[in-house]
Amino acid sequence: MITLVLFPVVINTEAGLRTTSVRLIEMLRSFGATRQQIFWKISLPSAAPFVLAGLKLGIGRGLIGVVVAELFGSRAGLGQLISQSADAFNMPNLFAAVVILATAGIAMTAGFTWLEKRLVPWTKD
Amino acid sequence: MAEGRAVAAVAPKLSVAGLCKSFATLEVLSKIGIDIADGEFISIVGPSGCGKTTFLRIVAGLEEASAGEVRIDGNPVSGPGIDRGFVFQSDNLLPWRTVLNNALIGPEVAGTATPQARSRTLDLLKLVGLAGFEHYFPRQLSGGMRQRVNLARALAVDPKILLMDEPFAALDAQTREIMQTELIRIWEQGRKTVLFVTHQIDEAVFLSDRVLVFARRPGRLREIVNIELPRPRALGLKRTPEFVRYVDHIWSLIEEDVRQSVLHEGG
């Protein structure tokens, strides 16, 4: 579970920090900036879009992880509802669970897109 | 078209002596020496690969010299500092900051982002023609406007020397002409010492008191051309015979070098 969510976030954050523009760093260095100032004023903000993209990936994977785990041996949750309803040929319940799941996935992704627009507007348009 | 003397009459603001730079075995700059007086506008022209940008970066403290030294008001330069303001070729604005906060980053780094610095920076933005755009983001500005922010950012630390690395190279020809007159207008307000690197010979002649002509392989000072054209200067000056004579003279100095670099190294 942790590995499913954590890895995309960590890998993307690392990539984000790595792609920090050399030219921006040089600009700050021309004013005599310290390494710490470069990190807080340049590296971290330029990695922000990558962190968010990682979280977006992570959330989708997290949702899948939870449901798959519930499909196999769980006493509650949507996954369990799906497998139980399938076993009992209870189609209304089965579809209700699937629709809820899909809606949750779409809502979370949309929420993150909204968050991206608010937090890192310079990556859009 | 007298050859300029390398020694200024009064104590120089910027003094460069015996400056050499090599990258591994490649000699990029060889024994550059020049004294520059307070308030002088100096341009550096030369073919690609003559080390003019490297020279500017060494003065800025972004690059270390292999030999020789740079002194500002008699004190040796050992690294970057806010006594110099660097205007980059690409504007290097932070996309997540507004125009004002971009321009304020120098004082911020130096720990002098006081309310006074803020109001001074607002005045500077007015001076460079960006009044009303203080709270815009870089992506909402044109290339010319972004370069104005670039200039205001360098001026915001009130540097003794302004170092400009082909700041108008990425602009279209018309915008560039306007920016040249704008730069002169702004410079006339404070008359800071300026070192201006450019490929455009006419730009160098138009702006400068003296033009340093560099030669390549290794990069060295070929000639210092005193530009004795009256100030304030307007764009019409570019069509006068005196102006054209200066441009022709400088072009004749670097033509062979440019030909070599274009024909044998693909530019």
> How do the pLDDT tens digits run along chain B, 267 residues long?
444 444 445 789 999 999 999 988 888 999 999 999 999 999 999 988 889 999 999 999 999 999 999 999 989 998 998 899 999 999 999 999 999 999 999 999 999 889 999 999 999 998 888 999 999 999 999 999 999 999 999 999 989 999 999 999 888 888 899 889 989 988 998 889 999 999 999 999 999 999 999 998 889 999 999 999 998 888 899 999 999 999 999 999 998 888 888 887 654
Q: Do A30 and B137 touch (CB under 8 A)?
A: no
Instruction: Give A-chain residues touching B84 at CB under 8 angstroms.
Output: 30
- Tell me the pairing of strands B220-226 and B75-76: unpaired
Contact A26 B82 (CB under 8 A): no
End-to-end CA distance of chain A: 34
Give tens-digit pLDDT for A94-107: 899 889 988 988 99
The reported pLDDT for the residue numbered B3 is: 45
Residue A74 has pLDDT above 80, yes or no: no
Question: Which pLDDT score, from 0 to 100, does residue A1 have?
Answer: 64
Residue pointed to by tokens 């300029």: B4
Set of chain A residues whose Cβ sits within 8 Å of the Cβ of B157: 31
The pLDDT of residue A124: 66
Q: Which of residues 46-105 of A touch B (CB under 8 A)?
A: 48
**Optimal mutation site among B62, B72, B109, interface A, most CBs of chain A within 10 A:** B109
Of B62, B81, B139, the CB nearest to A26: B62
pLDDT tens digits along A10-31 = 888 888 888 778 899 999 999 9
Mutation for testing the A interface, residue in B64, B83, B105 having most A CBs under 10 Å: B105
Give the number of other Cβ atoms within 10 Å of residue A100's Cβ.
13
Nearest by CB to residue B96, choosing from A26, A32, A45, is: A45
* A32:B81 CB<8 A: yes
- Chain A residue with CA closest to B162: the answer is A30
Neighbouring C-alpha atoms within 13 Å toward the C-beta of B261: 16
- Using a CB–CB cut-off of 8 Å, the residues of B that contact A are 60-62, 79-82, 84-86, 88, 90, 92, 94-96, 105-106, 108-110, 137-139, 157
Q: Identity (one letter) of the amino acid at A11?
A: I
Q: Chain A closest CA to B221's CA: distance in Å?
A: 25
Question: Which of B57, B96, B166 is most worth mutating to test chain A (most A CB atoms within 10 A of its CB)?
Answer: B96
Predicted local confidence at residue A125, as pLDDT: 55
Number of helices and strands in chain B (H, E): 8, 10
CB atoms within 10 A of CB A42: 22
Name B145's bridge partners. Answer: none
Chain B interface includes A28 (CB < 8 A)? yes
Query: Is ipTM > 0.90 here?
Result: no
SS (H, E, C) A40-78: HHHHHHHHHHHHHHHHHHHHHHHHHHHHHHHHCCCCCCH
Q: Measured between alpha carbons, how far is A78 from B214 in angstroms, rounded to an integer? A: 74
Selecting from B80, B108, B110 the residue whose C-beta is nearest the C-beta of A29 gives B80
Name the pTM for this structure: 0.82
Percentage with pLDDT > 70 across chain A: 97
Q: What is the structure's pLDDT at A80?
A: 84
**Contact with chain B for residue A38, Cβ under 8 A:** no
Pairs of residues, one from chain A and one from chain B, whose beta carbons lie less than 8 Å apart: 55
